[in-house]
A and B are shown apart, each in its own frame.
Chain A
């Protein structure tokens, strides 16, 4: 069952460059170990939405877990024998700003195997990091979006990886 969260929370990163990134979205799943009648829950519980498409919104790992627990409690109150099993974060999306413009074409030329840059289709460069299985959207303004992480550490690691590359392709304005 998918989890729904609410507020945003800024997390300081331990990154030497001093760049802070904000986690925008966390998708997680939890096994309640009992059959749930989704329609009943949707009708009875006050702030629930039965949407067969997964809806998410938690802004931190802890918030996500907290929200999942709260939801399990609500389901319990409705009369289902719910348990809190196998809470797992499926995806974490974060964004950050490195505050300098980037030469996307140069980057795509040198890292040809990992990059996909089609300015006609999408203004950002799509960087698929093989070893960490993450995807980064890199924009010419210097804003980066990292997705595919299962934890904050994954995000940090990927960012550490890409930062030197980005400084290498910094756009020097004359």
Chain B
């Protein structure tokens, strides 16, 4: 029900919007003012004939703004019933030869998607990684570098930018063939390139032990109480002068907390969950031990329990 100018009645009349046909109709004379209006509300699906074969309503996949033309393409599809004969025929050859300008890009996106899936990352991080890759993609200077390392570094940077950092070791585990060093170098390179292009808007803060704590604890299956205690301990440990990588500190604190609880995790499990070597956890524990009374919250363990903590 709205007021619009009707050309037949030559005045403003009440107008009815018919949702089923998408028409705007004048209520006085019945003239259709606008037909086929585009519905901008959310999508709906028809489940009536849910056949996996052909849904003629949809054509192609979701548009990807990073690809040229949004990923539109025309494909010569296999005729029904034809098998091997198709691909040796001229039609088949023409299709597979197709000069898709984005071939490298699509391949890279696929690799990033595989890595992101293995780590269980959300689509936001994956899309950001795709964007980052697109920005640095056509620079000549990456041609020489290890492609896997570049893609892994894109993913690493995307995780950092979304405030969900992943350790380089975790990224290493899903990137085939890229070493920690290579990924580190690639990351520095990409950050520098992006600064040059985007004029210094790279906001990537330093990593902290607390960012990884929740994840490590959940890998180990610690109780909620233990997790909370570990988080508090990490907060307090930031004031101390401990010269260790934040991941090692997180691992050492998890070790300390689990030793104080009933559910003691062996060093091996913690080493596996955090990616920190057992020797490093032991050394970090040695550094933290003198301050144990300051960092462990009293709600979790009292003074006597701390005495039970084995001296490293």
Contact = CB atoms under 8 A, between A and B. Distances in A.
Nearest to B195: A113
A113 B247 CA distance: 25
B187 to A, nearest CB: 8
Interface string A110-143: 0001001111110100000000000000001100
B92 interface: no
Contacts of B180: 121
B166 to A, nearest CB: 11
B243 A118 contact: no
Nearest to A140: B243
The interface size bin for chain B is: 10 to 19
A-side interface mostly? loop
Contact of A123 (B206, B240, B245): B245
B243 A120 contact: no
A56 interface: no
A120 B207 contact: yes
Nearest to A117: B206
A119 B184 CA distance: 11
Contacts of B246: 119-120
B200 interface: yes
Nearest to A120: B168
A57 interface: no
B144 interface: no
Interface string B197-218: 0001000011100000000000
Interface residues of A, number: 17
A105 B247 CA distance: 15
A108 interface: yes
A116 B239 CA distance: 21
Contact of A171 (B168, B205, B241, B245): B241
Given A108-B206, A109-B205, A109-B206, A120 B247 contact: yes
Nearest to B245: A119
Contacts of A141: 243
24 contacts: A101-B241, A108-B206, A109-B206, A113-B200, A116-B188, A118-B184, A118-B206, A119-B206, A119-B245, A119-B246, A120-B168, A120-B184, A120-B207, A120-B245, A120-B247, A121-B168, A121-B180, A121-B184, A123-B243, A140-B241, A141-B243, A171-B241, A173-B240, A174-B239
Interface of B: 167-168, 180, 184, 187-188, 200, 205-207, 239-241, 243, 245-247
